[in-house]
A and B are shown apart, each in its own frame.
Chain A
Amino acid sequence: MDWGALHTILGGVNKHSTSIGKIWLTVLFIFRIMILVVAAERVWGDEQDDFVCNTLQPGCRNVCYDHFFPISHIRLWALQLIFVSTPALLVAMHVAYRRHEKKRQFRKGDQKCEYKDIEEIRKQRFRIEGSLWWTYTSSIFFRLIFEAVFMYAFYFMYDGFRMPRLMKCNAWPCPNTVDCFVSRPTEKTVFTIFMIAVSSICILLNVAELCYLLTKFFLRRSKKAGNSKQQPNHENKEETKQNEMNELISDSCQNTVIGFTS
């Protein structure tokens, strides 16, 4: 069980994402998770062993380390990545639910859906509209919130994004103000800035995706409103409603790759 399992779970969601969503997922896996596992974990690996204080008093080092690093950078990043990936599960669950409903309709022998077999339902890619649009948009919104909260937590806990070389500590049982030296401060600063930069890029991608979805939604709405105005007056309301229903049903049952290019 490791990040690979997360990759499998999120890979399934990838099929139903927009192109910006796919770019976001790639950035997440290559520039954040992979860098965390392959590089950052090694840099922070010896953080407590090589945290040295200028005193022989037993316990002083432990206490000072705990005071300056209530939660390690590496753990905070791991939590951030887990929380930021979780909203995508909402979309995965919604898609699974829709598939389940379609399979049930197919088994009942419904005439509306023109699937040849269950395999087609399993492979179908759903358009992001209707209730799926709301789920997808809320998942992006939650992602943004989690990213922002963690970035703020970082900034707040460590007084900025720099790792100092030297920290002065006078927590008990240190006998007086003692100099403590952090291991590899420059390397840690470089990686911290890198991770913050990639976080910001992910935030921008999420904002862009949100704007894109909202724009599409309003355009689609105005197109529908425009279409309904153009219809001749002698058609009664029921026929108009039936036409719209048929359109929606045939849209959702189509088995072609529509819309967003990969």
Chain B
Amino acid sequence: MSWAFLRDLLSGVNKYSTGIGRIWVAVVFMFRLLVYVAAAENIWKHEHDEFECNIKQPGCENVCFDHFFPVSHIRLWALQLIMVSTPSLLVVFHVAYRENREKHHNQKFYRNPGKIDGGLLCTYLISLILKTGLEIVFLVLFYKLYNGFKIPRLVKCDIKPCPNTVDCYISKPTEKMIFLYFLVATSCLCIILNLSELSYLIFKYSIKCYLKRHVKKQQ
């Protein structure tokens, strides 16, 4: 089990997406998943070993590291990627349910089981809302946990067993900050894409509904 699973999942979702949905998949692949695996993971690889405090007291470094990094940036990033990709599964399940139903009853209920209309439209809209919500939740989590998106070079720590206020130095703070900003920028881009797709679908189907009603009235 690795990121290849997520990649295959997203490729499956691509089939039933709108044009903006496909752009979203491309952004998630290229600018989030690939950047995570190819670059970001290695920056945080030895963060605990390279976290250094100006003290010889055993246990002080461990305790300070745990205090300042309750959940590592890179783990939050990975969780965010997984959570944000998962709502698309709802659409895949719904299409599978439709196809199963047609097979079971040996009848053609839908012109095209993969076309976004009726119940599938609702599922698609719900998945978009969930995706956007989760993105925002993770961005807020990042902001609250780490007091903004900055990573300082130096943190002062005075938790037991540290005997007094001790200087602790974080490794590669500038590089981590650059990638954190990159993460935030791509998250915001994905939020914008999701919101545009949502408005596009709502607009398109309201016009369709309105026209249908108008034609019925004329008849």
Contact = CB atoms under 8 A, between A and B. Distances in A.
A124 interface: no
B4 A72 contact: no
Contacts, number: 101
Contacts of B50: 48, 62
A238 B95 CA distance: 48
A120 interface: no
Contacts of A82: 30-31, 34-35, 38
A78 B39 contact: yes
B7 A1 contact: yes
A79 B179 CA distance: 10
B54 interface: yes
Interface stretch (A2-10, A161-169, A216-224): A2-10
A188 B33 CA distance: 27
B54 A2 contact: no
Given A1-B7, A85-B30, A66 B172 contact: yes
B34 A62 contact: no
Nearest to B33: A1
Contacts of B175: 66, 69-72, 75
Interface string B61-75: 000000000000000
Contacts of B23: 93
A1 B3 contact: yes
A75 B6 CA distance: 23
- Interface residue range, chain A: 20 to 34
Contacts of A75: 39, 42-43, 175, 179
B176 to A, nearest CB: 9
Given A6-B34, A79-B35, A1 B6 contact: yes
Interface string B128-157: 000000000000000000000000011000
Interface in B16-43: 19, 22-23, 26, 29-31, 33-35, 37-39, 42-43
A226 interface: no
Interface in B163-190: 167-175, 178-179
A58 interface: yes
Nearest to B55: A58
A59 interface: yes
Nearest to B169: A59
A86 interface: yes
A62 B171 contact: yes
Contacts of B214: none
A1 B30 contact: no
Interface of A: 1-3, 5-6, 9, 41, 48-49, 57-59, 61-63, 65-66, 69-72, 74-75, 78-79, 82, 85-86, 89, 93, 96-97, 173
The 7 closest A-B pairs by CB, nearest first: A1-B3, A59-B169, A70-B174, A62-B169, A78-B39, A58-B54, A78-B38
21 contacts: A1-B2, A1-B6, A1-B34, A3-B38, A5-B7, A6-B30, A9-B29, A48-B172, A59-B52, A59-B167, A59-B168, A62-B171, A69-B172, A78-B38, A82-B30, A82-B34, A85-B30, A86-B30, A89-B30, A93-B22, A96-B22
